[in-house]
Structure 1
Amino acid sequence: MLFSFRSDFSALLSLPSLVFPVNTPTPPLRPAGNRSGFTLIELLTVIGIIGILAAIIIPVVGSVRNKARQSQCGSNLRQLYTAAILYANDNRGRLPVDRDNWANDGLRWHRLIYSYAGGNSAVTWPGSIAPLYVCPSDPAPFNGRLSYGINEFLDELSLTTLQARVIMFSESSNYLLFNEYATTTPLVKYNHSDRAQAVRVDGSLYVSSTFPSQAGDRLLWLPAP
């Protein structure tokens, strides 16, 4: 009887071990439509950061754009100056200022220097070089096509007799800096944050927030004291 028990026990041990599965709870899947988004605080924080960046960037971009426009305006003045000098070289040193003839044939300074500035003929003015005559910051150019005026006190004067600091061209509300409506105070137009630009007889730029009258600074406008 004892022998039989040992034999049966050995047979029991030789049987393969049984593995009983253990049920592990599986977390329920979250429905796709219930995903958590930004909290209100996170959303307000992002909006606040965007607002701060906009407050910093927008003025900087505006300032850079205004500087670029002012630089382009200065370049226009220098190109007009160069064209006027080339015209003078072909006309016994006389600048393109002849008020007596303007009333007769209409050849004002912007047409007289047109071919020297790159245009084909005064008849086709302003043609392809129209941007040269307009300041990019000018909201209302004269007749829609001209932002600069010439100092007509240089009429019939030779370059050799002019002082270097005398203004030749300036931003203006008229094609003339002085006319029958403004005989003492120049018609300067301040297109750059209350500042205006001009080019002198020596080719240098003059930038100011206040352009004086003839009485205030005669040497700035008149060829001789």
Structure 2
Amino acid sequence: MSRRAFTLIELLVVIAIIAILAAILFPVFAQARAKARQTSCLSNLKQIGTGLMMYTQDYDETLAGNDFAGNGYVAGQGRNLGFMEPLVPGVPVTFRNWARDVQPYIKNFGVLQCPSTTPRSTFSGGNPPFNECNKGLFPTCQNTSYALNGIAESRSIAAIPAPADIIYLEEFSIFTRTAQARPQRTGATTTVFNQFNHILYNSHHNEGSNLLYCDGHAKWSKKVALTFAMFGADRTYSAACAGRLVTNPADMGGNNGVVCSAAF
């Protein structure tokens, strides 16, 4: 009695077809997954925006912000501004920060971290343990992947000419245990700012990122579309500060290549 079965050639043809289909579909699945993470991240920022607007209404129309010491560090200390550490006036490294202040309105730590971000220690410039949350050392600490616009922080909504056009939060591609500001002040009390662009920002969602604006709305934008004016910078220190692209290499000269003053 004869038995029917696949020949070797037929089996190889089937395997080849499966391999071709996999090569076609896997990138599609990866793109769909990345898009889902982008959407989840955008939802996070919308929730933060709602919490921010509630905070603003309770605090005389003033946006949440950070206390600053120098460039975000405390002299003689090895730690950044503590995110979700107890606020103790006069005690180093327990400063006010936006992430802690809006938390009572959000009541969710998960929305403060984009699902596409990775630990800072995976980045070549990372220096753990102090840039990642260590529950053993700091039981109340949390991680966040969103950075504050240092120009807009702590401003009255009425003082910002166009809140819908000025960024409030932008994205890290890594998470950190500190509520950092980018751009940030160049000194504790100045209105001069630098670090408008950085290799860690605004590119891990399809060559762009999600942004939260000062009126509470959030949307995605390509990294190459960002301008200094969107952060509220003017021309006082550099011709690059008003209107031109943040990502222009001729303007940047490295992470700190442009120093700008606030336009409002």
Change (3 A) 1:179 1:161: closer
Match runs of 1:1-80 below 5 Å: 30=1, 35-80=3-48
Structure 2 counterparts to residues 1-225 of structure 1, below 5 A? 30=1, 35-100=3-68, 105-118=94-107, 129-140=108-119, 143=132, 145-162=143-160, 163=162, 164-172=164-172, 175-179=180-184, 183-187=194-198, 188-202=201-215, 203-210=217-224, 211-213=226-228, 214=233, 216=240, 218=242, 224=263
Q: For 1:114, what is the secondary structure of its paired residue?
A: helix
What's the counterpart of residue 26 of structure 1? none
RMSD: 2.9
Aligned partner of 2:36: which letter? A
Greater RCO (Cα-Cα under 8 Å, separation 6 or more): 2
With structure 1 as the length reference, what TM-score do the two structures score? 0.69
Q: Rg larger in 1 or in 2?
A: 1
Aligned residues with identical type, % of pairs: 27
| Aligned-residue offset at 1:177 | 1.4
**Structure 2 unaligned residues grouped into runs of 5+:** 70-80, 82-91, 121-130, 134-142, 187-192, 247-259
Count of residue pairs brought into register by the alignment:
183
Displacement of 1:190 in angstroms is: 2.1
Deviation at 1:170, TM superposition (A): 0.8
Report if the CA contact (8 A) 2:49-2:218 is conserved: no
Query: Are the counterparts in 2 of residues 70 and 192 from structure 1 also a CA contact under 8 Å?
Result: yes
Structure number having the greater strand percentage? 2
TM-score, length of structure 2 as denominator length? 0.60
Deviates more, 1:184-193 or 1:76-85: 184-193
**1:195 positional shift:** 1.5
Q: Which residue of 2 aligns with 1:6?
A: none
Q: Which amino acid aligns with 1:207?
A: S
Structure with the higher fraction of residues in helix conformation? 1
